Amino acid sequence: MVGILIECLQKIKENMEINNIELVKQFINPISEDDFWFLQILRRKKENPDNGSNSTVIATYYIHSIEHLDKVFEEMKILSRFHRARVYINLNRRNYEQLGLQMIKKVSDCLINKAYKDIKNAYDSICGSFHVEKEKKWIVDIDDNHDSIAIHHTNQRVLYSFIEELGGIVYQILPTLNGVHWITSPFSTMAFGYKIIGYNLANPEMKCPIPDIQKNNPTLLYYSDDAIVTMPENWIEKFS
């Protein structure tokens, strides 16, 4: 799997449509009927300099199964291309019952602090921060600006072996706009950093940057530079 990194980066540079739907389906495995996965389409300032903020939420989805994801994916792609926006998915399972309990606390806090305007965004805020996944999915974010990682297969193998030595598993590698996300199980991040520092001291000519590790962040599901300028007529009312 470690050899995939260079190929992913090359494909991204050649074709700016990133479609990870088949790669993420292995993580859509509900245990109960209350389980779901949290997806958002975000219009980012990076691709849209006229955006008023760093990111704007275009649409939110609560996905219950692979079949549900397949059903709405074309809709997501059109919205993504129309708004030049990214489709993100958090691979850690959410649960309606557990989120309902967290929602009670969140709304109570808003009322106590008189933050009444925050109540309308409370549910999605809880969805973004709270999950019930026992087998947690972490993201090791490898940016293609890290030339020593992007160029040298040796560093890929080193990072991969360090994760395995620390009890982690690399489940999947997903292309992103700036590199790749390694989807992993938890491992000791402190020991991981120490191992990379030790490796760099022993191999100064092949220095390997310490990648960012994200423990409950979304990853990229879809993005295309091939923007569209018109919305299908039957969608105008739905998404206006």
Question: Domain locations in the chain?
Answer: 20-132
Percent of the chain with pLDDT over 70: 85
DSSP 32: S
What's the whole-number average pLDDT of the chain? 86
Residue whose C-alpha is closest to residue 181's, from 215, 208, 151: 215
pLDDT at 220: 97
Residue 91: band (very low, low, confident or very high) from pLDDT cuts 50, 70, 90? very high
Give 154 or 34, the one with higher predicted confidence.
34
Rounded CA separation 21/43 (Å): 19
Give 128 or 37, the one with higher predicted confidence.
37
Q: What is the phi-psi region of residue 167: left when phi exceeds 0, alpha when psi lies from -120 to 50, beta otherwise?
A: left
Could you tell me the two tokens for 126? 């809880």
pLDDT at 25: 97
pLDDT at 151: 46
pLDDT at 217: 95
Q: Mean per-residue pLDDT for 96-113?
A: 89
pLDDT at 142: 86
pLDDT at 10: 55
pLDDT at 109: 86
Burial (CB count <10 Å: 0-12, 13-18, 19+), residue 234: exposed
Q: Does the pLDDT value for residue 108 go beyond 70?
A: yes
Q: What is the pTM of this model?
A: 0.86
* Other beta carbons within 10 Å of 181: 25
pLDDT at 95: 94
Q: Does the pLDDT value for residue 172 go beyond 50?
A: yes
Which range among 52-66, 112-126, 196-210 has the greatest average pLDDT? 52-66
Rounded CA separation 64/76 (Å): 15
pLDDT at 236: 57
pLDDT at 4: 52
